[in-house]
Amino acid sequence: MNPETLKNTAHEIMSPGKGILAADESTGTIAKRLASIDVESTEANRQAYRNLLFTTDGVENYISGVILFEETLFQSADDGTPFAKVLADKGVVPGIKVDKGAKPLALASDEKITEGLDGLRERLAEYAKAGARFAKWRGVIDITDEQPSDYCIDTNAHALARYAALCQEADIVPIVEPEVLMDGEHDIATCERVTGRVLKKVFEALDGQNVLLEGMLLKPNMVIAGKKSQKQASVDEVADATLRCLRRHVPAAVPGIVFLSGGQSDELATAHLNAMNQRGEQPWGLSFSYGRALQAPALAAWQGKPENVEVAQKAYHKRAKNNGAAAQGSYSSDMESAA
Ligand code: 13P
């Protein structure tokens, strides 16, 4: 492990006013996204869609890193340049999702554990050769009346730490993503309690497995009411609860926190990040690592048609620009109506 390499990569990703595009949808997830616009999920269509995103002019002013799925890391742009090189040439750090997805947790009722540790050391070496400098692993925690169990939190925290240690050994910055889902009926206070329990266990596991906090990034959910909750919290309530929870549980040595959007609308995800950054200096940088909240308008505009590529790229550019502003607390909703 080279601590300086890890710290430098983490700082490069956390450049002021920039964040991450999560374009690492697995084959199953991208099929769902493409189905939403009636496009078949063939390898050619997946390449065409990623080509649209990665060749959008000017987004490198707001996007410092892109998380790729394994298939995409080994694909090339329309002009034959490997995608990882297309990104690196623009000063964007290529990253790779390395987990193999969330599977049923044995002897638990309806909870999940993320798999993919076996052979990970060897895969990381291949990904590094292909240009990946950071990685992502997502653990999934669901809130119901009885869940999450300590068993689910502990096993996911342990796996996240094992993954993070293997990444750092390969000089790849691990993004540690324990996602508390926003699918339930729970209120914001429940989300805050559960997110706090999860972060506490994750940082205990990272410490127990010698992970260098200065050489990793955290990708948490925001503290937010469940989608089906009757009581949706205001933007200010989300910002205050999220910051309180993070300040209690995330060591100041961590250089950056890059939120997932988790099913929030694109504009709300931007407003929440902006509100947090308007509350002044925090121990860590606060930015975005959005999938849906950066891509949704572009996907809808594209519809799988070459003649729509330009308008789709404009839609993606706008979300990248507005989130770049939110990462500095200088976003305003007027920017949504700007051309
Ligand atoms: P969303 O922003 O769509 O939640 O995706 C981010 C991500 O990478 C989830 O693992």
User: Is 137's C-beta closer than 6 angstroms to any atom of ligand 1?
Assistant: no
Q: With 0.85 as the threshold, say if the pTM is over it.
A: yes
Q: Does domain 3-337 have CATH number 3.20.20.70?
A: yes
In a 3-state reduction of DSSP, which class is residue 122? helix
In a 3-state reduction of DSSP, which class is residue 65? strand
User: Is 22's C-beta closer than 6 angstroms to any atom of ligand 1?
Assistant: yes
What is the H or E stretch that residue 235 is in? helix 235-249
Region of residue 107 (phi > 0: left; psi between -120 and 50: alpha; otherwise: beta): left
Per-residue pLDDT tens over the stretch 127-165: 999 999 999 999 999 999 999 999 999 999 999 999 999
Q: Pick the residue whose CA is nearest to atom 4 on ligand 1.
A: 262
User: Is 84's C-beta closer than 6 angstroms to any atom of ligand 1?
Assistant: no
Read off the tokens for 222. Answer: 């925001």
Cβ of 39: how many Cβ atoms within 10 Å?
20
- Residues with catalytic roles: 219
Confidence tier at 213 by pLDDT (50, 70, 90) = very high
What is the H or E stretch that residue 53 is in? helix 43-54
Average pLDDT, the chain: 98
The upper half-sphere exposure of residue 117, i.e. CA atoms within 13 Å in the direction of its Cβ, equals: 15
Per-residue pLDDT tens over the stretch 8-26: 999 999 999 999 999 999 9
